[in-house]
Structure 1
Amino acid sequence: MSKVGQIFFRANSRHGLWTIPLLVAICCCAGLAAATADFVSRQNVLNLFAQAAPLILVSIGQMIVILVKGLDLSVGSVVSLTTGILSLNAPVYVTVPAAMLMAAVVGLLNGVAVTRFRVHPIIATLSIMGITQGAAMFVRPSAGGTVASEIVALVSGQLFGIYMPVIWTIVAILFGWKIVHASRFGLHLFAIGGGETAGTFGIAERRNVLAAYVLSSCFAAAAGIFLAGRIASGDPNIGTQYAVDSITAVALGGTQLAGGIGSLHGTLIGCGLLSLIANGMNLLNVSAFIQTVVKGAILLLVIALQPRKNIGL
């Protein structure tokens, strides 16, 4: 096989098969640009960044967990609870640390359930999701409240002429790259997901898996902060979509749900493709119900195309 062919079709590398989604995303851009003039408008591009930024944040955390053969279904409820905490009309120096502490506790509970009590990740995080969603409903029973002006400015303003959603995206990418591809912890994630034992490489598997779940929840909380600033209020149901959407984006980017194979750039491509599809359907006035069906079908198709013997779910 030629070098070009290996780059585009070599699915067994540690980074997964991310080039095919990239080509599909490019084709989607070309098709949408031809179908509607609004797609290339400045306002739509900004909206696309604003829609993609929270998904990118949640998906980076989700990918970290999936790399160690896990899954985090509680990310959506963490997003919702974060917006509720930030809408309690308290100073920003109280609400933001409280939200991040809450996220760390949720991630810790997920990690302990998976590592210490050996509960399957789906069952563990589904249970914690229910608890966290209940807390979100308690804190903010319905959409409303007031988010501090500092949070709103962090999302809706500009810095040196660059719109804040773009800056959030760049910062998320830099943090994600450092964690996954430029640290010893990232190497441990791939090793654990690949099945290498602690005895072979001296890796503290339980501690690293625990850290992965804590990071996943913290990234979800960051997405919640972004969304709270964007809507300037709290909403106990705003995070509902992010559990499935983040898994779909990560799988679209070539990350294997069996663990050990994946990449940040693949996840970003998956987020971009999913956001493009959603944005395109909005521009074409596709029903919200059909959009949900399409997203579910994409997730089913992507997982079905992954090697069945490696799924283990």
Structure 2
Amino acid sequence: MAHLADRLSGRYSRHGLWILPLGVGLAGIVGLALMADDFLSPQNLFNLAAQAAPLLLVSIGQMLVVLVRGLDLSVGSMISLTTAIVSLDASPWATIPGAFAAAVLVGLVNGVTVVRLNVHPIIATLSVTGIIQGITLFVRPVAGGTIPEIVTTLVREEVFGVPMPVFWVVLAIGLGWKLLHGSRFGLHLFAIGGGDTAHSFGIPDRRNTILAFVACSVFAALAGLFLAGRIASGDPNIGTQYAVDSITAVALGGTQLAGGVGSLQGTVIGTVLLALLANGMNLLNLSAFVQTAVKGLILLAVISIQPRKSIGL
């Protein structure tokens, strides 16, 4: 049994076991197609892409932090702050760069607090979450405002009959691949998360850990920009669910929360699984309370089979 648990948890692969989630996803697609007549309709599939795009963006960012044995609980608040900034009555050439500048600042604060002040990532990012949420409510106390036309166009329009959310998904995967497999940065993240000897081999572990938190916040800002264009307003609470959902998607795709093991394809599969689950439960008219409970049970189950030497992540 222990040997089987090790195999299922992906202990022997740097990329984790993403084949099993892929099989579950394919089975889920078949099951939903049989239970819900509208599941395979073009409109529902396009809606599925629109639901998956922001979660995929924030989950890829979350994965970068998890690889270095961290967690970022501030991504949800960063999403909300982005929608609030973009919805201000000002030029988009100021608000959009301003939102990403805020994301870089948040990532730096998270990273420096964890690396330099030795604060646990959960405590550090949870504290930053409260600060960001307070600023967001100051900027946009209630949902409203106007989103620049360029943002709504990039989210709602079609190109050659293909909805823009599909291109956002491709963008997210392309950025994730570039960071993980097209640069030394990705290799360094695996090395840092794999043990405490990365620094001995000349890898700037502290700098790269901080950069992982910065990249995570920037991905969250991209997700916020997408959501702002989709709902055409700013919303101080729209990002609430994404912190837990992104961690669930990352873990579901085979990334070890203890660090050093994970893959882009696994995160994509985990995101699709969650999007399929939410879409299917909506089609079956299950309540939001049931959906939240199901996601919580999935996260608990996935973490329970991950190998850990001691209590903790």
TM-score, with structure 2 as normaliser: 0.96
Give the SS at the match of 1:54.
helix
Q: In the alignment, is residue 29 of structure 1 matched against residue 35 of structure 2?
A: no
Whole-Å separation in 1 of the counterparts to 2:196 and 2:304: 26
CA RMSD after TM alignment: 1.5
Equivalent residue number for residue 145 of structure 1: 145
Whole-Å separation in 1 of the counterparts to 2:274 and 2:204: 35
Equivalent residue number for residue 170 of structure 1: 170
Amino acid aligned to 2:312: G
Give the SS at the match of 1:37.
coil
* Cα distance change of structure 1 residues 210 and 10 upon mapping to structure 2, 3 Å threshold: closer
* Cα distance change of structure 1 residues 160 and 70 upon mapping to structure 2, 3 Å threshold: same
Q: In the alignment, is residue 129 of structure 1 matched against residue 136 of structure 2?
A: no
Equivalent residue number for residue 244 of structure 2: 244
CA contact (8 A) 2:258 2:308 kept: no
Whole-Å separation in 1 of the counterparts to 2:238 and 2:308: 33
Query: Offset at 1:200?
Result: 3.0
CA contact (8 A) 1:89 1:148 kept: no
Give the SS at the match of 1:302.
helix
Amino acid aligned to 2:219: F
* Cα distance change of structure 1 residues 122 and 32 upon mapping to structure 2, 3 Å threshold: same
Q: In the alignment, is residue 281 of structure 1 matched against residue 284 of structure 2?
A: no
CA contact (8 A) 1:258 1:310 kept: no
Equivalent residue number for residue 219 of structure 1: 219
Whole-Å separation in 2 of the counterparts to 1:147 and 1:228: 7
Equivalent residue number for residue 114 of structure 2: 114
Give the SS at the match of 2:38.
helix
Equivalent residue number for residue 260 of structure 2: 260
Amino acid aligned to 2:240: T
Give the SS at the match of 1:38.
coil
Amino acid aligned to 2:278: A
Amino acid aligned to 2:237: N
Q: Cα deviations across residues 40-80 of structure 1 (Å, max 9, x unaligned)?
A: 01110000000000000000000000000000000000000
Whole-Å separation in 2 of the counterparts to 1:307 and 1:161: 45
Give the SS at the match of 1:309.
coil
Whole-Å separation in 1 of the counterparts to 2:228 and 2:215: 20
Q: Cα deviations across residues 199-228 of structure 1 (Å, max 9, x unaligned)?
A: 432101110000000000000000000000
CA contact (8 A) 2:9 2:306 kept: no
CA contact (8 A) 1:194 1:260 kept: yes
Whole-Å separation in 2 of the counterparts to 1:160 and 1:42: 15
Query: Offset at 1:158?
Result: 1.6
* Cα distance change of structure 1 residues 9 and 58 upon mapping to structure 2, 3 Å threshold: closer
* Cα distance change of structure 1 residues 234 and 10 upon mapping to structure 2, 3 Å threshold: closer
Whole-Å separation in 2 of the counterparts to 1:67 and 1:8: 19
Instruction: Select between 160-169 and 261-270 the one with higher mean Cα deviation.
Output: 160-169
Give the SS at the match of 2:144.
coil
Aligned residues: 308
CA contact (8 A) 2:176 2:264 kept: yes
Whole-Å separation in 1 of the counterparts to 2:35 and 2:165: 26
Equivalent residue number for residue 3 of structure 1: none
Query: Offset at 1:197?
Result: 2.1
Amino acid aligned to 1:79: I
CA contact (8 A) 2:16 2:263 kept: yes
* Cα distance change of structure 1 residues 70 and 10 upon mapping to structure 2, 3 Å threshold: closer
Amino acid aligned to 1:142: V
* Cα distance change of structure 1 residues 199 and 112 upon mapping to structure 2, 3 Å threshold: closer
TM-score, with structure 1 as normaliser: 0.96
Q: Cα deviations across residues 213-268 of structure 1 (Å, max 9, x unaligned)?
A: 00000000000000000000000000000000000000000000000000000000
CA contact (8 A) 2:9 2:305 kept: no
Matched residues, percent identical?
65
Whole-Å separation in 2 of the counterparts to 1:169 and 1:92: 23
Whole-Å separation in 2 of the counterparts to 1:311 and 1:27: 33
Q: In the alignment, is residue 40 of structure 1 matched against residue 40 of structure 2?
A: yes
Whole-Å separation in 1 of the counterparts to 2:160 and 2:284: 34
Whole-Å separation in 1 of the counterparts to 2:222 and 2:254: 24
Whole-Å separation in 1 of the counterparts to 2:179 and 2:10: 24
Amino acid aligned to 2:111: G
Amino acid aligned to 2:210: L
Amino acid aligned to 1:276: L
CA contact (8 A) 2:11 2:307 kept: no
Equivalent residue number for residue 97 of structure 2: 97
* Cα distance change of structure 1 residues 242 and 160 upon mapping to structure 2, 3 Å threshold: same
Query: Offset at 1:171?
Result: 0.8
Whole-Å separation in 1 of the counterparts to 2:208 and 2:199: 15
CA contact (8 A) 1:110 1:128 kept: yes
